[in-house]
Amino acid sequence: MSLGWGAEVAAVVRKEFRVELRGRVGLYSTLVFAVGAVTALGLASVRGEPSPSLAAGLLWVAMLFACVVGLARTFLAEEEQGTGDLLRLIANPGPVFWGKAIFNFLLIVAVAGLVVPLFVLFVRVQVADVGLLVCGTLCGCAGLAAVLSMCGALASRATGRGLLTGVISLPLLLPVLAAGITALRGAFGDSVSESWGAVASLAGMAAAFFAIGPYLYAAVWKQ
Amino acid sequence: MIYRIFLLLAGIGVTGLYVWAPGAKGFPQEESAKILFFHVPPAMLCPLFYLWGAVMSIRYLRTKDPRFDVRAVAAIEVGTLLCVLATLTGMVFARVQWGAFWEWDPRQTSIFIQLLIYAAYFALRYSFSNQERSRAYSAAYAIFAFPTVPFLIFALPRMVTFTLHGGANQAVVGGGLDPTYRSIFYTTLVVILLCFAWAYSLRVREGEEWLAKEESDGLATGGSDTADPGVVRPVRLRDDG
Amino acid sequence: MLRLDLPSDPRVNRVARLRAIIIAAMLSVSGLGKRFGKRWIFRRIEFCLTPGQVLVVTGPNGSGKSTLLRILAGLEPPTGGEVDASGAVGYVSPELALYAQLTGSEHLKLASKLRRGSQGCDPVGALGKVGLDSAGGLRVGAYSTGMKARLRLALAVCHRPGVLLLDEASASLDEEGKSLVERTIAEQRGSGVVVLATNDPSERRYGDFELRLGG
């Protein structure tokens, strides 16, 4: 049974990758926004490097910019294309939510893999603690993926869904960003004792969001 | 009626206590710091109403009974009102004590984020053309958003070393108020809770009346002029073949 | 409306007979109503279908044929009443969108992986049955309207559902496609029930019963 469930999730993830790779719109726009945002930040810091705290904030803003535009799309695209009904006919909500959330997480990690090195290179910040940078970024990506997946799912069947996803996810992302900034401040050289605590609370938040997300998605699945 | 008179008297009583109470020790401006009687209770009660809203949302999603949805919206509306009050009184407090309306103090920040999160609840709620869907999706949002409440209250303010609320945290949360002060504070807290519970019950009653009206409208416009169209059944198309 | 080979023994009382009907029913609907805002689209629909029966739903535009089928498919909750379908459901509607970026056989493979509690599906056989064997590797974005209608039919029947819901299934299909729908209905009679919503009076001939809405 659990094996069957895993196969269902894998089928959804595979389907998402196929649709997204063949459609390409979401991937290209994410790429352009990610590189564009980091370039703009690089231009702003031509003279002198920003403080660790500011650098951490800028990095998360760049991530947010790249992710909100391109990646909340998985649930939205489903309703825009009208394929939501097909999915509701053939699938169960749990695997659909997990498949899409995992797909979102993998894409956000890929975006981070592009944005973070580029940011360090362009904005010329000193990385004091690589472990903290990697852990903080990964946990932050999980938080972003959880919030964006759920908010995309909740907004997908409303009028003005694209705008609404931004409206409802941004406030929920603020606590994630606050913790993410605290985590990366330490990574960029601010000697703060709270950074690992912030990583832990990022992980906790992401876990809480991921834990309740599937249940809520199942509850609104056939409304 | 009796409840309303009681609330009125309690309100007058609390205002009297407020005037009579001595200035709050430990603050730069002792006399004006008394606003904490009206600043701290809303900040403490707001999460309570948000919790109630999340509980009612869970019950709505379990039963799909619109009366739970009415309660969830009422609780979140009252919670948001308390959140606004805490923010505004906090701004006045901050102007007098710290010299500026807004300082990005962690507690100010977290209550402001809280306000934004629940403002988004209303944005989501009013973007559906289908009423059942609107209820279900906003209930799901209310549950999803609730974990941020304890995070914003407990974790975020501790994550930032810089805070101007140090004295207040010590005084109110740490039990540092002197006995007279403490009893005035808790009396005010209870009276404010009763006031907002009353507002909540009014809002619930209004919502239930609206539901009842909608239900009777639905019965009145049942397809044709007759109130009861009767049962619709299929008819046989051919004899057995 | 029900024809069951129940023992006509007088000792079998009415309640027992009713219970037998309910157990034998593949799709039973009671007190079903749907309201949009203040307007009831339909109210108090009652029927009960046992294997081998075909119900045709007719009525003017806006009488709620498609909404009824969406409710039966579980895509939309009813305002009141209950739907009880035993076994899997297959649903065809011209409004059911497909993934433009996936091929026909990828659709069927995805469905067979995600569907639970039904017999497996053979994508190649299912495509052959609806006359799409050569187009199975083609992306649906390149399909014609009629080809999409055929693929929807394949998706609806490949898991052998007990309840087959056809909303305007032969709209935009050619002669051969129409006879495909007819064959599908005949085949479904052997294993389950069909509910067919149509605007075409000639399609009433498929049915054993007719449910007229909005009249």
Tokens 């509701």 -> residue:
A88
Least confident span in A5-9, A32-36, B179-183, C9-13: C9-13
Nearest chain B residue to A159, by CA: B127
The pLDDT value recorded for residue C119 is 61
Q: B227 pLDDT band (50/70/90 cuts)?
A: very low
- Select the more confidently predicted residue: C122 or A98: A98
For the cut 60, the answer to whether the pLDDT of residue A40 exceeds it is yes
Q: Report pLDDT for B239.
A: 54
Per the CB < 8 A criterion, the answer to whether A179 and A208 are in contact is no
Mean pLDDT (chain B) is: 83
**Helix (H, G, I), strand (E, B), or coil: what is residue C106?**
helix
* C131 within some domain: yes
The least confident of B96-105, B228-237, C14-23, C133-142 is: C14-23
**Mutant choice from C114, C121, C148 vs A, greatest count of A C-beta within 10 A:** C114
Whether C46 and B231 lie within 8 Å, measured CB to CB: yes
Neighbours of B49 (CB within 10 A): 26
pLDDT single digits (tens) B55-73: 999 999 999 899 999 999 9
- At B236 the three-state DSSP class reads strand
More confident residue, B213 or B166: B213
3-state helix, strand, coil in chain B (%, to 5): 75, 0, 25
Q: Residue range A126-141: average pLDDT?
A: 93
Q: Which of B165, B131, B184, B142 is nearest to B43 (CA)?
A: B165
Confidence of residue B220 (pLDDT cuts 50, 70, 90): low
- A176: distance to nearest CA of chain B, Å? 9
Distance from CA of A179 to the nearest CA of B (A): 8
Q: What global pTM score does this model have?
A: 0.87
Q: Number of folded domains in chain C?
A: 1
Beta strands (DSSP E) in chain C are 27-36, 39-49, 54-58, 80-85, 89-92, 163-167, 193-197, 209-212
Angle at Cα A13 formed by Cα A8 and Cα A17, nearest 5°? 145
Residue A223, chain B, CB below 8 Å: the answer is yes
Whether the per-residue pLDDT at B176 is higher than 60: the answer is: no
Residue C108 lies in a domain: yes
Q: Do B237 and C40 touch (CB under 8 A)?
A: no
Range of the domain at C141: 98-159
Which positions of chain C have pLDDT values less than 70? 1-23, 117-120, 215
The whole domain housing A187 covers: 5-221
Which of C1, C35, C40 is nearest residue B236 as measured by Cβ atoms? C1
B199-206's contacts with Cβ under 8 Å and 24+ in sequence apart are B199/B78, B199/B81, B200/B49, B200/B74, B200/B75, B200/B78, B203/B73, B203/B74, B203/B77, B203/B78, B204/B70, B204/B71, B204/B74
Q: What is the pLDDT of residues C75-111, one digit of tens each?
A: 988 988 889 988 889 999 999 999 999 999 999 999 9
The number of folded domains in chain A is 1
Task: Please write the tens of the pLDDT for every residue from A156-178.
Answer: 888 888 888 888 999 999 989 98
Chain C residues in contact with A8 (beta carbon < 8 A): 113-114
**pLDDT level of residue B100 (50, 70, 90 thresholds):** confident
Distance of CA C213 to the CA centre of its chain: 17
Closest Cα of chain B to C50: distance in Å? 14
- Residues of chain A found within 8 Å of residue C102, distances taken between Cβ atoms: 15, 18-19, 22
How does residue B223 score in pLDDT terms, banded at 50, 70 and 90?
very low
- Identify the CA nearest to A84 among candidates C213, B39, B133: B133
Provide the β-strand partners of residue C29: C47, C83
Q: Is C128 exposed, middle or buried (0-12, 13-18, 19+ CB in 10 A)?
A: middle
Does residue C39 sit within a domain? no
Query: How open is the CA angle B35-B38-B41, to the nearest 5 degrees?
Result: 130
Q: Does residue C135 form part of some domain?
A: yes
Q: How far is C37 from chain B (nearest CA, A)?
A: 8
Question: What is d(CA B37, CA A104) in angstroms, rounded to the nearest whole number?
Answer: 46
Which pLDDT does position A2 carry in this prediction?
47
Helical spans, DSSP H, in chain A: 2-23, 25-44, 52-71, 73-81, 84-90, 93-123, 130-155, 161-187, 195-220
Residue scoring higher pLDDT (A81 or B208): B208
Q: Which residues of C touch A78 (CB under 8 A)?
A: none
Is the minimum CB–CB distance between B52 and chain A shorter than 8 Å?
no
Higher local confidence (pLDDT), A107 or A192: A107
Across the interface, whether the CB atoms of B147 and A172 are under 8 A apart is answered no
CA A30 to chain centre: 12
pLDDT of A136 = 94
| Residues sharing a CB contact under 8 Å with residue C23, sequence separation 6 or more, in sequence order | none
Q: Mutation target for A interface from C99, C121, C163: give the one with most A CBs within 10 A.
A: C99
Residue among A157, A172, A223 whose CB faces B117 most closely? A172
On whether ipTM exceeds 0.95, the answer is no
Residues 25-44 of C with CB under 8 A from A: none
How far apart are the CA of B132 and the nearest CA of chain C, in angstroms?
9
Given a contact as 3+ CB pairs under 8 Å, which chains touch C? A, B
Structure tokens at A181: 């900034």
Amino acid present at A65: F
State residue B72's pLDDT score.
97
Q: Does A182 touch chain B (CB under 8 A)?
A: yes
> What is the count of residue pairs from A and B with beta carbons less than 8 Å apart?
97
Reduce the DSSP state of residue C82 to 3 states and report it. strand
Q: Which of A65-79, B147-161, B167-181, C160-174 comes out lowest in average pLDDT?
A: B167-181
Instruction: Please tell me the predicted confidence (pLDDT) of residue C117.
Output: 65
* CA dihedral over C198, C199, C203, C208, signed as positive or negative: positive
Q: What angle do CA B213, B214, B216 make, to 5 degrees?
A: 65
Is C130 within the bounds of a domain?
Answer: yes
Cβ–Cβ gap A22/C101 under 8 Å: yes
Candidates B194, B225, B213; CA nearest to B3 is B194
Out of A194, A217, A223, name the one closest to residue B159 (CB).
A194
Chain C hits for B131, Cβ within 8 Å: 37
Instruction: For B33-44, write each residue's pLDDT tens digit.
Output: 778 888 889 999
Q: What is the pLDDT of residue B122?
A: 95
